[in-house]
Amino acid sequence: MDFMKRVENALSPIITLVLISAFIFLGNTAPAQSRNLGSRNTFKNKLTRLVTENWSVQVDIGPGLYYGDLSMDGKDAFNKILNESKLSGQLVIANKINPWLALQARVTYGGFTSENTQVNRLVDGSSILIGGNIMVDFINLFSVPNEVFPDIYLYGLVGGGLVNIRTKLKNLDSGEEILTDKWNREPINETALYAGIGINKYLTPNWDVVFEVTFYHIKSDRFDGLQAGTQDDYFVFPAFGLKYNLSRGLLLSKKKSTYYRTSRRRPLRR
């Protein structure tokens, strides 16, 4: 009995803290739903909104820009895009958990190329990054405690992940592939940190258009297949994208579904 009493006394404050946190967290989902006409503020409705709302899927394309030992046009962005880039793309799945903060998971394919006449080397490579990050909507952050549903908002992001690198290093004159090191012969995995800034523009209740620039810091000097000079390599990805904001669809009654389909702006965080 004494043992059970001690367990009960130890768990009591923890259970109280969890219940208070859950109440506060679920309560914070209510402001974004102020446009949800006729909805009842029940625990079931809050939980349904928490799980099903505010998801988005985003697809971006743009030029992959490499900065490292073999890059030549580091200060000329136009020539960099023309001469040292390859088409790249990414998929971003996100949930905006409150008016100004979102969690994102992304898969980024980055292609890059560069010809360095000074050292007679050509690099032709690609990478696949799998990462996670937070995204901060600056407009709603500065509007706390209100959610303003802007047609255009500026956001920033920061995160990290793993990157799989496949790089071919060649002699620029002969085109012969250089296989002197292990990372020239087979794909390698490295870690990467990244940060970015973007603009999100509202189009329709489901669709947004996005422009984003992301800077990837590869924690290795082997991204370009050559270890020389600087200790780290960088990849920059300016991209345009389309974002689809998922509807709550099947979890709503027919009456509410009709309202959300016909209204200009659904009560979903963008």
pLDDT above 60 (res 263) = no
Name 112's bridge partners: 125
Which residues sit opposite 77 in a β-bridge? none
Distance separating alpha carbons of residues 65 and 83, to the nearest angstrom: 10
The mean-pLDDT minimum among 88-97, 107-116, 151-160, 258-267 falls in 258-267
pLDDT for position 33: 40
Give me the pLDDT at residue 147, please. 76
The percentage of residues in the chain with a pLDDT greater than 90, rounded to a whole number, is 31
Q: Tell me which residue of 84, 82, 162 sits closest to 123, measured CA to CA.
A: 84
Q: Would you state the pLDDT for residue 212? A: 97
The torsion angles phi and psi of 133, rounded to 5 degrees, stand at -155, 165
Q: Provide CB contacts within 8 A for 92, sequence distance 6+.
A: 56, 57, 58, 59, 60, 104, 105, 106, 241, 243
The backbone torsions φ and ψ at residue 30, rounded to the nearest 5 degrees and listed phi first, read -70, -40
Q: CB atoms < 10 A from the CB of 122, how many?
A: 19
Segment 18-54, tens digit of pLDDT: 444 444 333 443 344 434 444 456 777 766 666 677 8
Name the pLDDT band for 270 (thresholds 50, 70, 90).
Answer: low
What does the alpha-carbon distance between residue 157 and residue 138 come to, in Å, rounded to a whole number?
Answer: 11
199 touches 238 (CB < 8 A): no
Return the exposure string of 172-183: e unless at least 16 CB atoms fall within 10 Å of the residue's CB, then b.
Answer: beeeeeeeeeeb
Task: Give the tens place of pLDDT for each residue, 112-170.
Answer: 888 888 888 888 888 999 999 999 999 989 888 877 778 899 999 999 999 998 888 88
Task: Quote the pLDDT of residue 68.
Answer: 77
User: Cα–Cα distance between 81 and 63 in angstroms, integer?
Assistant: 7
The per-residue pLDDT for 159 is 97
